[in-house]
Amino acid sequence: MTSARRPLRTRDSRWAGGLSRALLRLGLRPNQVSVLSVVFAAGAAVALVFLSRGAGPAWLLWILAAVGIQLRLLCNLMDGMLAVEGGLKTPDGDLYNEFPDRLSDPLLLAALGYAGGDDTTRLLGWLCAIGALLTAAIRLHGATLTGQHDFRGPMAKPQRMALATGACLLMAGLDLAGGAAKEIAPLPWILGLLLAGIVVTIVRRLVALSRLLHGRARS
């Protein structure tokens, strides 16, 4: 069976091992943690949509969104560790590993576009959301053709979420700084960078898949 497990060095860290053991003691199962990742992503998306409506302190909503994104990623790490290192792998584990991410990515990226509050950022957010789904679709289709998952970037899921988190923290800092800093509008540029990275990722994965298929045909 083709493994869809992303290679992550953080799995070998002491804190990750300690947290996974704590979750095991609490009786949590990997599929439950996978579903929980969507809950955190949805919470972050709600905070971002509230920003577009001017509801609540902007800096607080930006920070809540950043925390939600990181908790989503933490769940993505823990579900695999509970399944493999914890010996709790289930027959439908790969389904729970993949489908929640297909919900979380567009939720977060589209909501990040709405948080900008104008048509440009909304468009960029939706394009990033669609692009994130395409990167995953290419990886999954490639795995059905070759038996290998291609996680190459430069804007794979970890990089997308790192940039989204950084954007939220930057916007929170600018709001707290007040004055002229609040007039700075870096979000369209950040979303543009995110979109450009996603496009490069799509092209790189397609080219690599094509080369691999041609190489196998020749051999």
Strand, helix or coil for residue 219 = coil
Interval 89-114 mean pLDDT = 93
Q: What is the pTM of this model?
A: 0.93
Q: Which of 123, 145, 150, 133 is nearest to 98 (CA)?
A: 133
DSSP, res 7 = P
Contact 121, 184 (CB under 8 A): no
- pLDDT tens-digit map of 143-154: 999 999 999 999
Mean pLDDT over 26-30 rounds to 89
Handedness of CA 81, 85, 88, 91 (dihedral sign): positive
pLDDT in tens, 164-177: 999 999 999 999 99
Give the alpha-carbon dihedral of 203, 208, 209, 215, to 10 degrees: 150
Residue 3 is predicted with a pLDDT of 60
Confidence of residue 109 (pLDDT cuts 50, 70, 90): very high
Band of residue 83 on the pLDDT scale cut at 50, 70, 90: confident
Report CA-CA distances (Å) from 155 to 75, 100, 121, 132, 194.
Answer: 20, 19, 19, 9, 7
Which sequence spans correspond to the domains of the chain?
9-218
Which position has the token pair 């979109």? Answer: 195
Residues with Cβ < 8 Å from 198, sequence gap 6 or more?
A: 128, 131, 132, 134, 135, 155, 160
> 1 falls in which pLDDT band (50, 70, 90)?
very low
pLDDT given for residue 17 in this prediction: 85
In terms of pLDDT, which residue wins out, 1 or 142?
Answer: 142
- Inter-helix orientation angle 30-52/58-84, to 10°: 170
Q: What amino acid is encoded at 100 in this protein?
A: P
Amino acid at 104: S
Cβ atoms of 48 and 110 within 8 Å: the answer is: no
Q: What is the CATH number of domain 9-218?
A: 1.20.120.1760
Taking CA atoms, 179 is separated from 22, 54, 116, in Å, by 45, 18, 18
Gap between the Cα atoms of 204 and 208, Å rounded: 6
**Residues of the chain with pLDDT > 90: what percent?**
70
How far, in Å, CA of 27 to CA of 88, rounded? 11
